Amino acid sequence: MSKAMPPSVEDTVSAKADTDDAAASASRRGKGPTVLRRGDHIGRYLILESVGQGAMGEVHAAHDPELDRKIALKLLLSDRREGPDARMRILREAQAMARLVHPNTVTVHDVGEHEGRVFVAMEFVEGQDLRAWLRGDHGWRAILDMFIQAGEGLAA
């Protein structure tokens, strides 16, 4: 007999799956990322540099002038044809992420909208992403430890 997930985990998993579906759909229709440059603003946040991009959108290092700190700003793909349902899925995911408090997850500071695209302002973590780390030369124990840490963050 399988154990049911707690409602908060179930909501997070459901919101994440819905958001991934919406992003993949927008990506297939050619809705690419907006070109942002150092000095541009998204809401109150000042763009410092691009960190990366993927199927969900693009991530930038940014400065929060109100709290005087560096943040990661995730600007999500948008397609107005998807309507308010896609926006609500993304906001539900951000709310679920904001409730998480765990050393292996980033803290969500803010969520908003800029030119029809939802953004999420999060804790900035220095270093490389998992994909880049996996390209390195690591023994199986280090890889196992990394995935255990990731799993603990996902289970939070």
Domain ranges of the chain: 7-125, 128-156
Radius of gyration of the chain (CA): 17
48: left (phi over 0), alpha (psi -120 to 50) or beta: alpha
How far apart are alpha carbons 72 and 105 in whole angstroms? 13
Question: Is the full-model pTM beyond 0.85?
Answer: no
Please give the structure tokens belonging to residue 30: 């050619």
More confident residue, 146 or 72: 72
Amino acid 26: pLDDT: 41
Q: Are 52 and 85 in contact (CB under 8 A)?
A: no
pLDDT at 3 (0 to 100): 42
pLDDT at 77 exceeding the cut of 80: no
CATH tag, 7-125: 3.30.200.20
Predicted pLDDT at 33: 47
pLDDT at 16: 45
Q: How confident is the model at residue 46 (pLDDT cuts 50, 70, 90)?
A: very high
- Give the C-alpha distances (Å, rounded to integers) separating 146 from 1, 9, 61, 92, 111: 29, 21, 24, 27, 28
Average pLDDT, the chain: 78
pLDDT at res. 111:
92
Mean pLDDT of 19-48: 68
Give the tens place of pLDDT for each residue, 78-125: 655 566 777 788 788 888 888 888 888 889 999 998 888 889 999 999
